[in-house]
Structures are given as structure tokens and as C-alpha cells.
Structure 1
């Protein structure tokens, strides 16, 4: 199947089962990844759990985690591109999403796969486009490793030996015949060995009659017919054959009549079809011309879609850069117009003035205490000086 035929189908060409197409692609992708041994080469390396059958399917009934799914999608895609023969660096969580997706689509185009959807379709990490991209990359990786899918070879079944089942009915009949023969032989032996005289019975006739009535049900020989008896099957086969033969005669007449009616109707349909074809020849030519124009328009649309996709990618990159510049300008403007630093400075000055006043009060108290200490010390020194000065003796005149 070519890449175009297996690409993304249009909505009007999908049919009733188009809604479940993504589930089928995801299951095939998982089988291809297992063939490539992605458990050891990807999951163990990044410490991730195994994928479920519908991991990358975007559906309300399937649990989703966009961040985890997008990262795992980029990791698997980069690994598949590397396995396919084109070295591709493993993505990191802090990489630009649009740049990573654009690089993956560029590698996919390099393999000759047509891409008719914008990169934004892969940003969610799940959906039809994600499954298709991974499926195409897995096919390229399998082709690089020389793996091809082949038809399974079924072993030839040995013919079973027909086992001959034991016919219980024949055994039962054989036993009955043997019993009858043995009884006959036994009676002949008894007759040959009977005495010449007349035997007289000493048994009461009434008791004999009662004993006969008691054992009479046990003396009856009942032959049970088995449903597996070949004689019964043979009789049934003869009956079915006779019934089929009788029904075939009546059915054959009806079938012949129906065949004639169908032949006449078919001839009428053919004649009407030829008439309609001759009458609508010009409309058929116009329709064919319209189909050719439609195919040309679709080709032009696909070519234009490729240019639009590239421009959309560039627009997304420019928009992302513009958003970053706007965010930086908003942060600088908010920091310049914000009066919070002035309020903090004023509060700090007020607090500093209060601390200066408190410090002045403490200095005054210390100076006052120091002055009192000096005065006290001066008084003590004065008192000591007066105490140490002795009084001089009075001069008395000589007599």
C-alpha cells in the first residue's frame, strides 16, 4: 500500500468505520514498536511504563495526560528517526514544543511522506495525526532493519483415522441370540437326559401361578434400539433421499420458470441500460471532465496546503517570540510603574527616625547618669580634702 493511500483519509471517504480508524492504527503501531524492542531501548532508558493499546488515541473514554503524552511522543519519534538512519537528538522537557514538532515533521518529509496538517495538531500529544506520524516512522525503522511482514505458514493437518465405534445394539442382540442358543442347547440336553418314566409335579398349582405372575415382568426381553445403529442411519438416509427426489421434481419446475423470468428481466435491463447510455453519453463526458478538473484542483490544493503549513509554522514561531517579548516588556513596565519600592523606602526612613529618637533618649539618659556620677565623685573628693586638713595651733604670747 502506498504512502498516499495509507495517509490520512478524508472525512467523506471514510465510511461508517472511520471513527475507529485511529484505534486500529494505534494497535498496529504498538505491535511495530514491540517488534523494534522499544521496551528496552526507550522505556527502560527513560524509566517509563509500557504503552496501552489506546495510549495516543484522543477519545473521551480514554484517559489522557497531554504533557506526558507529548513528551513520550517526541521521545519515541526521535528514537524511531534515529533507528531509521537519520541521527536525531533526544528532546528534553524544557525544549520549545513547536520547534521540536517542526523538526519531526521535517524528518518525516525527508523520508518521502506527505504531511497535510499543521504542527499544532501534534501539540496535544494524542490524536489521529500523532498515531499516523509514529506509524510512518515505525515503518521506516522496520524497513531500515530489514524487517518485513509475511503471511503466516499454517501446518498441514494430519487426516484423522476414523475410529470404528462399538455398536452396543449389535452386542446386545448378539448376547440375546447367544442366550437363546444356550437355552435351546440346555433344553435339548435336558430332553436327552429325561427318565423314561412319567414325571409327576408335587408343586401346588396356585403357588406356581403366583410365582409366574411375580417373575413374569423379569422374563420379558426388551431390545433397546441405539440411535447410533447403522441400520437406523441407513433407513433415515433412504427416507431423506426419497423426500429430496420428490421435492426436487417440484422445485425444478419452479426454478426453470424463475430462470426464464430472470432471463427476460435481464434482457430488458440490458436494453434499457444501452438506451440510457446512448442518451446520457454527453453527460458522462461532462462528468469525466469534471472529475479530471477535480483531481487537478485537489493536487493544487495539496501543493498550496504544503506552503500554508510552512507559513503556519513560521507564524507560530513568530507568535511565540512575540509573546515572550510582550511578557518581558510587561514585566519591565510593571517594575518601573510599581510604587512598592518607594513605600518600602519611606517605611524604612520612618523606622530609622524612630530608632534615632530612641538612641538620643538613651544617650541623654547615659549622659545624665554620667554627670551624676561625676558630681558624686567630685563631692566625695571635696569631703576627703576637708577631712584630711588639720587645724593649726593658736599662738599664745610669752609671759
Structure 2
């Protein structure tokens, strides 16, 4: 099996989200980022792994990415608002990543979900870059070499540390051996005064290093005072998550107890109601059977009449189909008659119209006028030719006589 096909690959996103959260805590995002707006909130360990509220996740993802880019030196960027165009916001983020030579092989539609591999990749790269540019990181533990001249101090430290480790390891085994009853205010097996020096002198290599505590003769008030002094240092503050099912266990138990109580009170009424409903149903069924027996003959007649109506309806449907066909033919013939009427009317209007005759007469009149004008012009030309010929004849006769 290849590494990419391993079943454990689907859990890489969980480890990536945890690494991102560690880097954000290293950058102190709870004080610098979360307090910027009231809508910002600390993210959980696996907040960006799966889609729970895409709008809220995308808004928090884009603002967190811009905050990380500001940590990387991009101070000119502005935090995106809730109603900004998501495509332009993602394009700005991708442009900064491209300028930092960070490859992003995910589509914009995959990033717009606000969760998944694309968003985790971007936050992982930006958080790593921000940690490097701010010169932050996780350092290894340094082992302090012991000073041979300071043997007593080391012995005291070892004496203090070892019993604590032994007590933590054997706490579950010895839990029932020393019990403090908070209601009564009495302690069992602790009767003597608390001796811190005796506690520090416990030999961790002994077979039963807790025998001193079990057989301790500490008095109850002094022991209780010591417990009250140490209790605040042992408190662990766990931030409540409204989505965590553990925070609702008490409420669920109360609701369950209330349901049981109300059910016990309502159970007799429900049983009585069930009996009444059963009796009413039986009476209704008996009445229905009686009515069906009385109306059986009428129902037979009703079915016969329905069959006849169905036959008549079928005959009517067939007859109406023929009528419809003939009606369509009649409409077609009527349209053809209307077209013939229009043609006849147009032809009659053309025959009764005197406009063409008037135009013909006008054309004839124009031709006659033109003929008269041409005859006059021809007469003038003939006269001019005749007079020129006479002149030429006179000149020739004069020359001959001369």
C-alpha cells in the first residue's frame, strides 16, 4: 500500500489543525486577535477540519489569515467584513501567498467552504511563516548539570520531587485508604500533627513509601488547613464549550427526571384515554358494518347506474369527436369563403375605380400637346429650309447673269 492510500491519511487534517492551534497560541492570538472584534472567538482543536457553519468558519478563516499576514509584515491589508465578496477576499490572500512563494493547489470554491484541506493548508503555511518571521519556536529542554559541591541541595530537591511522583502513581491504589468526609468534617487515619520534615524524609526506594501517610497521626484541623492551602494551586480552569455534550449532562438528567415524573402522573389519564378510544373505535366499526348491510342493495344499484353513465359518457365522447372534426372542416370552408369574398371585393373595387381612366386621358392629352408642338417645330424647320433654298437659287441665278 502506498503512503497516500493509507487509512491514516484522513486523520492528517486533525493533526494539522492541532499544529495550527499551537502556533496561534505561540503567537498569542487570544489576546491580539480574539479581542479585535466581538465576533471573533477562540477556535477549537479541530475547528477547520469539517464544515459545521460555513459562513462563520469562512469569516473567521479569512480574518485569521489576514491577521497572520499582518504578522508576516503585510501591514497594508484590511480585515474583511462579513458581507464582502468572498472571491475578491480569497484572491487577495492567494496573491500574498504567491508573493511568498507558497504553493496553493486548491480551487476558490474549495476555500470558500471555510473548512477542509484547502483552508488548513493556507493557515498552516501562514502560521509557520509568521512563527519564523517573529523568531518564535519551541526549544528543547536543557539538562542542568549538577554541581558536585552542592550535594545537599540536590538531595533535598530529589527528596521533594520523588515522593510527589510516587504519590501520584499510587494515588489510585491508596485512594480508599485515606478518606476525608467533608459533610461530617472528620478524617480517617489522620490523627497526628502534620510533619513536613518527616514527609520529605520518606525513602522513595522503600517497598511502601506511603506507609507514613497512611499511619500518619496528623490532627484534622491542621491537615484540613494544609489541604485548603494547597487546593487553589491544584485547580484547573477548563473553558466551557456550549457545543460540548458534557456541559449539558446535568440539564439532560433534569429533563429526563421531569419527563419521568410527568409521565407517571399522566400515565393513568393516557390509559383511560386509550380505553375510550378503543371503545369508540369498536362502536364505529360496528356501526359501519350495520350501515353497509343496510345499504348493500342501494350500493349495487349505484354501481349499475355508474356503469351506464360510463357507457353514455363514452358514446358522447365518440359523438363529440365527430362533431369536433366537422366543426374544424366548417371553419376551414368558412375561411376559404372569406378569402374569395375579399378577392372579389378587391377586383370590383379595381373595376369601379376611375383613376386609371383619368390617368390614361391625361397621358393622351400630353401626347396630343407634344404632337402639336412637334408639328409646329417641323413646320418652322421646313420654312427655314425652304427660305434657305430660295436664297441659294437667287444667288446662283445672279451669278449666271453676271
Q: How would you bin the TM-score normalised by the shorter chain? A: 0.3 to 0.5
Greater relative CO (CA pairs within 8 A, separation 6+)? 1
Q: TM-score, normalised by structure 1?
A: 0.38
Q: TM-score, normalised by structure 2?
A: 0.38
